[in-house]
């Protein structure tokens, strides 16, 4: 069986865009998006300047992270190594766009499904070359079977020194460059200095356009260059580097407000259920009304979680494909089954309680509910970890981050509910302790995620954007001061002074802090350009 790949010979490329045009014509690609595009960079100072052209597209990785992340097998690797996709399966979850380190996927503004270069698989199946190879006037694009020693691509790979994009991601890309310029292949090495043709698309295309999300502009304005002290608006003078003069804009925020929203609501749901049922599972005396309150709150917030998850899909009409056509390596699928099982178990407990079998139901279901609540709280950390294109989310502390938020959210909402449900009042001491420990743990985790050694420069830049760049006021003012330190102080004061109202206010502030933190954690890494 063949093993197809590409070589881009930058000694020959003239930046004519024939490949881009041929790709658009062959696949009827809508305006505003591209499967293949040409990136221009300029280096040097007048009169010693040079311009380099680099064709960018899907790398057809041997270890394709988009395939692993896709929940419905809309993306798959053919036997010949081509990474292809099935329009009819795609639900528009955008997990593939976050998983790809090369920014090769986009959401089609007409079909609302993912799309990318598929090596012109339909042409290959007929014995033809991809359209871009066929039209290149300088024969700068070479395709073929890399396992065939007689093929041109095999001979070039054996003879020439080649470069790939972002080898540290471990995807084993099969798009190779001869004379590849590191400044062009590494996004941060050629920053955007001004607007260029098509750069107005940074605000989004198709149904993304009204959001006003700015991609390249966000990065240029919000990221502190490495080596810059936090708080300084301008970096220290540096020698002139390469700059981008023509490119496809960074797509900006693909996971918008719905994603931090659903992370927040499932933290509320899991915490509200886990705390009273954990107490019951440990043999403590918990009023039936307290268990009912936790279960009802859990069910309500799980319903909101499901609504937000569906709202985030670009094809919400296909949301059921996740359960009916699952790709089990995807944590989106695993998470869907976890939250479905969690919601179903809560419903079962409530039904048995209404039928007068609450005691038996509690004895049997308490620990399964606690386990599923914990899984619901933390599974998103593993979903984010599959987004290999966003290295900031690879932090091993992220499950602890989400677990701490679930503990704080559950304690806060139950404490607020205790003013209306008398059965929750005996749990106030436990809820107060949970708030204190959860807030302290949350602060420690934030420090660990931002201050520890990061896996690469992208993660480091995202961290610096949070604590010293675009999001610094929101982070320090909202997440730390208003959402952590002040609630902690109010909770301790409320305990010492026996003032439940102070603790309740602290809980409300803590909930606001969680929502702000999740917004920052989800959005900031998406503003780091990948191409």
User: Which residues on neighbouring strands pair with residue 53, listed in sequence order?
Assistant: 40
Tell me the mean pLDDT in the region 28-33. Answer: 90
Q: What is the mean pLDDT of the chain?
A: 91
Per residue in 256-288, pLDDT (tens digit) is 999 999 999 999 999 999 999 999 999 999 999
Q: Distance (Å, rounded) from C-alpha 234 to C-alpha 145?
A: 49
Instruction: Please check whether residues 205 and 338 belong to one and the same domain.
Output: no
First to last CA, the chain: 31
Q: Distance (Å, rounded) from C-alpha 146 to C-alpha 428?
A: 66
- pLDDT at position 221 is 44
Tell me the mean pLDDT in the region 492-513. Answer: 98
Q: Distance (Å, rounded) from C-alpha 18 to C-alpha 32?
A: 17
Q: Which of 202-211, 315-324, 493-502 has the lowest mean pLDDT?
A: 202-211
Instruction: Please check whether residues 150 and 278 belong to one and the same domain.
Output: no
Query: Torsion-angle region of residue 76: left (phi > 0), alpha (psi -120 to 50) or beta?
Result: beta
Inform me whether the pLDDT recorded for 214 exceeds 60.
no
Q: How confident is the model at residue 198 (pLDDT cuts 50, 70, 90)?
A: low
- pLDDT at position 245 is 80
- pLDDT at position 74 is 97
Is residue 262 within 8 A of residue 312, CB to CB? The reply is yes
Residues recorded for the chain: 531
**What b/e sequence results for 355-369 when a residue is b if at least 16 CB atoms lie within 10 Å of its CB, and e otherwise?**
eeebeebbeebbebb
User: End of a domain among 195, 213, 246?
Assistant: 246
Say if 252 falls within a structural domain. Answer: no
Inform me whether the pLDDT recorded for 378 exceeds 50.
yes
Instruction: Please check whether residues 206 and 292 belong to one and the same domain.
Output: no
Tell me the mean pLDDT in the region 301-321. Answer: 96
CATH code of the domain in which 381 resides: 1.20.1630.10
Q: Distance (Å, rounded) from C-alpha 506 to C-alpha 434?
A: 12
Reference 302, options 273, 259, 334; nearest CA is 273
Instruction: Please check whether residues 451 and 383 belong to one and the same domain.
Output: yes
Inform me whether the pLDDT recorded for 300 exceeds 70.
yes
Tell me the mean pLDDT in the region 99-108. Answer: 94
Number of domains in the chain: 2
Instruction: Please check whether residues 179 and 304 belong to one and the same domain.
Output: no
Reference 275, options 437, 368, 406; nearest CA is 406
Is residue 355 within 8 A of residue 361, CB to CB? The reply is no
CB atoms within 10 A of CB 5: 25
3 state DSSP class of 214: coil
- pLDDT at position 48 is 83
CA distances from 82 to 61, 140, 145, 217 (A): 8, 20, 11, 34
- pLDDT at position 120 is 97
Inform me whether the pLDDT recorded for 204 exceeds 60.
no
3 state DSSP class of 517: helix
Domain of residue 270 covers: 258-527
- Bridge-based pairing of strands 114-115 and 175-178 is unpaired
Q: Distance (Å, rounded) from C-alpha 262 to C-alpha 140?
A: 46
Token pair of 463 as six digits: 């961290």
Per residue in 148-182, pLDDT (tens digit) is 999 999 999 999 999 999 999 999 999 999 999 88
CATH code of the domain in which 78 resides: 3.30.70.20
Inform me whether the pLDDT recorded for 466 exceeds 70.
yes
Say if 443 falls within a structural domain. Answer: yes
Token pair of 19 as six digits: 């490949």
Q: In what order do the strands lie in the sheet with 37-45?
A: 48-56, 37-45, 243-246
Is residue 320 within 8 A of residue 371, CB to CB? The reply is no
Say if 251 falls within a structural domain. Answer: no
Instruction: Please check whether residues 239 and 263 belong to one and the same domain.
Output: no
Inform me whether the pLDDT recorded for 200 exceeds 70.
no
What's the burial of 452, exposed, middle or buried (CB within 10 Å: 0-12/13-18/19+)? exposed
Q: How confident is the model at residue 215 (pLDDT cuts 50, 70, 90)?
A: very low
User: End of a domain among 204, 224, 246?
Assistant: 246
Inform me whether the pLDDT recorded for 81 exceeds 90.
yes
Q: How confident is the model at residue 203 (pLDDT cuts 50, 70, 90)?
A: low
User: End of a domain among 246, 273, 294?
Assistant: 246
Instruction: Please check whether residues 269 and 235 belong to one and the same domain.
Output: no
Largest distance between two CA atoms of the chain: 87
- pLDDT at position 73 is 95
- pLDDT at position 49 is 83
Instruction: Please check whether residues 330 and 239 belong to one and the same domain.
Output: no
């Amino acid at each position: 069986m063949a093993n197809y790949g590409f070589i881009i010979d930058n000694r020959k490329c003239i930046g004519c865009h024939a490949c881009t045009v041929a790709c658009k014509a062959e696949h009827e690609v809508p305006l505003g998006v591209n499967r293949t595009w040409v990136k221009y960079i300029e280096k040097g100072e007048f009169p010693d300047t040079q311009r380099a052209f680099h064709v960018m597209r899907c790398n057809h990785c041997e270890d394709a992270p988009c395939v692993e992340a896709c929940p419905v097998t809309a993306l798959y690797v053919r036997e010949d190594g081509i990474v292809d996709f099935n329009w009819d399966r795609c639900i528009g979850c955008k997990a593939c766009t976050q998983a790809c380190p090369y920014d090769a996927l986009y959401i089609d503004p007409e079909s609302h499904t993912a799309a990318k270069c598929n090596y012109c698989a339909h042409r290959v199946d007929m014995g033809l070359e991809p359209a871009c190879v066929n039209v290149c006037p300088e024969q700068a694009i070479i395709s073929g079977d890399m396992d065939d020693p007689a093929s041109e691509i095999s001979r070039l790979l054996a003879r020439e020194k080649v470069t790939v994009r972002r080898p540290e991601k471990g995807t084993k890309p099969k798009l190779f460059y001869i004379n590849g310029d590191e400044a062009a292949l590494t996004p941060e090495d050629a920053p955007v200095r001004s607007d260029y043709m098509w750069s107005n698309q940074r605000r989004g295309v198709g149904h993304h356009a009204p959001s006003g999300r700015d991609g390249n502009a966000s990065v240029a304005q919000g990221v502190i260059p490495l080596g810059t002290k936090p708080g300084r608006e301008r970096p220290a003078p540096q020698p002139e580097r390469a700059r981008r003069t023509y490119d496809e804009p960074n797509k900006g925020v693909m996971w918008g407000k719905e994603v931090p929203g659903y992370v927040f609501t499932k933290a509320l749901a899991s915490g509200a259920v886990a705390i009273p049922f954990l107490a019951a599972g440990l043999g403590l005396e918990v009023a039936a009304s307290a268990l009912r309150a936790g279960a009802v709150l859990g069910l309500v917030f799980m319903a909101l979680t499901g609504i937000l998850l569906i709202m985030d899909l670009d094809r919400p009409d296909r949301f059921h494909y996740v359960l009916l056509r699952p790709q089990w390596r995807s944590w989106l699928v695993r998470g869907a089954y976890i939250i479905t099982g969690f919601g179903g178990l809560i419903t079962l407990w409530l039904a048995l309680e209404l039928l007068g079998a609450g005691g038996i139901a509690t004895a049997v279901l308490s620990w399964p509910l606690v386990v599923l609540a914990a899984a619901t709280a933390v599974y998103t950390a593993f979903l984010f970890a599959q987004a290999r294109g966003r290295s900031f989310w690879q932090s091993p502390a992220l499950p602890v981050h989400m677990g701490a938020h679930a503990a704080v959210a559950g304690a806060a909402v139950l404490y607020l509910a205790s003013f209306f449900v008398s059965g929750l009042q005996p749990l106030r001491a436990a809820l107060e302790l949970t708030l204190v420990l959860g807030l302290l743990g949350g602060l420690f985790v934030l420090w660990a995620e931002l201050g520890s050694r990061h896996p690469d420069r992208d993660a480091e830049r995202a961290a610096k954007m949070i604590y010293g760049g675009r999001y610094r006021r929101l982070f320090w003012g909202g997440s730390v001061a208003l959402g952590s330190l002040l609630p902690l102080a109010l909770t301790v004061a409320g305990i010492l002074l026996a003032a439940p109202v102070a603790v309740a206010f602290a809980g409300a502030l803590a909930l606001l802090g969680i929502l702000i933190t999740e917004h920052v954690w989800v959005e900031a890494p998406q503003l780091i350009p990948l191409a």
